């Protein structure tokens, strides 16, 4: 019987991050991302205030308007 040899190549950071993100998405689902996004948004709002969100919203709108 022949012995199968596995050749491993180094993985880039980009590929490792993508594969890790895909695994988390499969295991935890969309609700996980909603929950952590909301939690992060609340934290940023506490630390920076509503003015911060107004500013990034304005900048985003200007950027989209130029495109």
Alpha-carbon gap, residue 38 to 47, rounded angstroms: 14
Of the candidates 39, 16, 43, 65, the residue with the CA atom closest to the CA atom of residue 24: 16
Per-residue tokens: 24: 């988390």
Question: pLDDT band for position 63 (50/70/90)?
Answer: confident
Q: Which residue has the higher pLDDT, 67 or 26?
A: 26
Mean pLDDT score of the chain, rounded to an integer?
A: 90
pLDDT higher than threshold 90 for residue 50: no
Per-residue tokens: 42: 């609340």
Could you tell me if 53 and 60 are in contact, meaning their C-beta atoms sit under 8 angstroms apart? no
Alpha-carbon gap, residue 8 to 20, rounded angstroms: 18
């Amino acid at each position: 019987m022949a012995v199968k040899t596995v050749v491993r190549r180094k993985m880039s950071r980009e590929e490792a991050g993508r594969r890790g993100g895909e695994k988390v998405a499969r295991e935890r689902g969309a609700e996980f991302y909603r929950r952590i996004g909301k939690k992060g948004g609340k934290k940023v709002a506490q630390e920076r205030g509503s003015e911060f969100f107004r500013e990034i919203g304005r900048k985003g709108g200007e950027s989209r308007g130029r495109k």
